[in-house]
Structure 1
Amino acid sequence: MSVIKINDQALIDRLELVASRLSDTSPLAAAIAGTFATVTDDNFDMGGRPAWAGRKLSTIKIYERKGLKYGGVLHLSGDLRARVVTSHTQDEAVISNNMPYAAAMHFGIKQGDSGKTTRGAPIPFGDIPARPYMPMDTDGNMQTEAEQEVFLDVDHYWHKIFNP
């Protein structure tokens, strides 16, 4: 599991203040988890932010041989996007994906890092570049767009506390 790091100090300060004033922070955590899902959907819609590396010509040719249509990067079946789930507790907002290849798509993976086939070929057969689709980069830093949206969630609760 990766932890998303927030780098925006104003967001950190506001989040700590709001959390200290709320008797039940689970609605805020639920809002943040929802924001994570929305930002992730936006990342898929935008083809990554920053833009994902395209598929190699060799991969596209394999798809053609198998009769698969190229629907864009990370859009072949829609399963990766569909299996993004969120949850929350009073103290945390969580976003995850249980597809077997989810981490490899987000963080990238080198040829052979997942072992070999029964015939001895490397898995994967070539390097797969990182295509961060979750609301964090490959170092765990919260994506700028996610920080902005989470700030709006926290700001909503800030105003609720101080301007009832």
Structure 2
Amino acid sequence: MHAPQGRNIAMFRVQFNEQPIIDRLQAAERRLDDPAPMYQEIGEYVVNATKQRFVIGEAPNGSKWAPKSQVTIDRYKAAGDGSRTKPLIGPSKRLSTEVHYFFSRAGVEVGSALEYSGVMQGGAAKGAFGTDRSGRPIPWGNIPARVWLGLSDRDDREIVDIADDYVGEPLDS
């Protein structure tokens, strides 16, 4: 390596001669080669944090979800299920319970396979998806965005802590 003109570069090499240090560094390196346990823990954490949002009715940024419209509540009552007044909690409770994660070497994905999950996340205007066979708009009314999927600042810190614990555990001795 050549130093740029007019600059001195100091370089040094660190060599570990003690086997316990070498063993711990190699263990940390092996953990990086197999991040699956870390990704699994992160996935489980994010799924649980997401499900908790349905209990408290708020977005990852702490804002409260828009309430259900009275029309929606009235439809639930007419169908015999008027007890579901919380936003995003329908008769089946599927969106609040069918949150899953998938992990690979590339990372973790969290979400729902329910076809309406994206509409609940981003909202939709009345008739945005056309009409049904009777000519009624789909959806039949405006659906406000209720962001249920994402990471809060607390979630960010927890994920960093999980990663730090996973990689740092062999070094903590």
Contact 1:106/1:130 (<8 A) preserved:
yes
Unaligned runs of 5+ in 2: 1-27
TM-score with structure 1 length normalisation? 0.77
The 5 Å alignment of 1:73-152 reads 73-76=87-90, 77-134=92-149, 136=150, 142-152=151-161
CA distance in 2, matches of 1:53, 1:46: 12
55-64 vs 150-159, which moves further? 150-159
How much has 1:19 moved relative to structure 2? 8.6
* Number of corresponding residues: 141
Query: Secondary structure of 1:62's partner?
Result: helix
2:87 aligned with 1:70: no
Q: 1:61 is matched with which residue: 49, 71, 74?
A: 74
How much has 1:96 moved relative to structure 2? 2.0
153-162 vs 114-123, which moves further? 153-162
**CA distances 1:118-153 after superposition (whole Å, capped 9, x unpaired):** 12111001110111122x1xxxxx332321221221
Contact 1:39/1:145 (<8 A) preserved:
no
The AA in structure 1 aligned to 2:99 is: V
2:6 corresponding residue in structure 1: none
Q: Percent identity?
A: 25
The AA in structure 1 aligned to 2:87 is: V
TM-score with structure 2 length normalisation? 0.73
CA distance in 2, matches of 1:104, 1:125: 13
Max Rg structure: 2
Unaligned runs of 5+ in 1: 1-17, 137-141
Contact 1:29/1:91 (<8 A) preserved:
no
Contact 1:84/1:96 (<8 A) preserved:
yes
How much has 1:53 moved relative to structure 2? 0.5
CA distance in 2, matches of 1:98, 1:160: 35
1:23 corresponding residue in structure 2: 33
Q: 1:163 to 1:41 in 2, by over 3 A?
A: same
2:55 corresponding residue in structure 1: 45
Two-structure CA RMSD over aligned residues (Å): 2.1
